[in-house]
Amino acid sequence: MKMAPISRQAILDRIRKATGGGAPDVAGSYAGLHRDYVRAGKLGAEERIALMIERLREYDAEVVETAPDSLAEATQGQLAASGRRRFVAPAGLPAEWLAEGFEWQIDRGLSTAEIEQAEGVVTAAFCGIADSGTIVLHHSAAEGRRIISLLPDWHLCVLRASQVVETLPEYFARCSEAPVLATYISGPSATADIEMTRIKGVHGPRFLHVIVVRDDVTAR
């Protein structure tokens, strides 16, 4: 690694020579790039949420809808139907989501072995992108560390209707700052490496469940 600084300068010199130093005003040149693709979606709120649900189901995710005041029952129902008992939850998950009658491990620095013991995980989400059926995690306190939505085989994600956008650019428009960590989930882990046959569940959770909370989509 001692030689690395020398290479750094040599590589940068070669690049600068190759590009003639680059544009005098990089920011200006960047701002002038044409971006004529579609940014905003054209669906109404109901259609947007219907599309999100349709796309999630295409990925074999199980989706249920619920009114905000019956979220606790919906969560309870999903957990019970899973036939699983031990769940892990991020430290910032609202207390009312932690249904009774199950074993909860709250992640305040759980070890890998402890998380590996869990049969499922419940998290919130940052955003849902209807066009591709994508769930976005920015790993805030209610979305949890990356490891907890990875090791357990069963993932229940609670998504509010007001978090659902239609297009990918609309998600980016909602990011006032770039996230430090982000995971984009479009259906359960999958592979098509053997004869292009799609197989669900390689390493990530094999079962993705989504509860769509029908909150007021006009409120953000």
Region 68-97 residues binding other proteins, contact defined as CB under 8 A = none
29 binds other proteins (CB under 8 A): yes
Among the residue ranges 34-42, 46-54, 73-81, 117-125, the one whose residues contact other proteins (CB under 8 A): 34-42
| Binding residue (CB under 8 A) for other proteins from 103, 141, 184, 216 | 184
Q: Which two tokens stand for residue 134?
A: 């994508």
111 binds other proteins (CB under 8 A): no
Site for other proteins in 118-177 (CB under 8 A): 129, 131-134, 139, 145-147, 150, 168-169, 171-172, 175
Cα atoms in the Cβ-side hemisphere of radius 13 Å centred on 208: 28
Other residues' Cβ atoms within 10 Å of the Cβ of residue 41 = 18
Nearer to other proteins, 21 or 101 (CB): 21
**Beta carbons within 8 Å of 115's beta carbon, 6+ residues apart:** 88, 105, 107, 147, 148, 151, 152
Find the shortest distance in angstroms from Cβ 72 to other proteins. Answer: 28
How far apart are alpha carbons 65 and 213 in whole angstroms? Answer: 6
Find the shortest distance in angstroms from Cβ 119 to other proteins. Answer: 15
Strand partners, 14: none
First to last CA, the chain: 49
* Spatial contact of 181 and 136, defined as CB atoms under 8 Å apart: no
| Binding residue (CB under 8 A) for other proteins from 81, 141, 199, 216 | 199
Nearer to other proteins, 106 or 182 (CB): 182
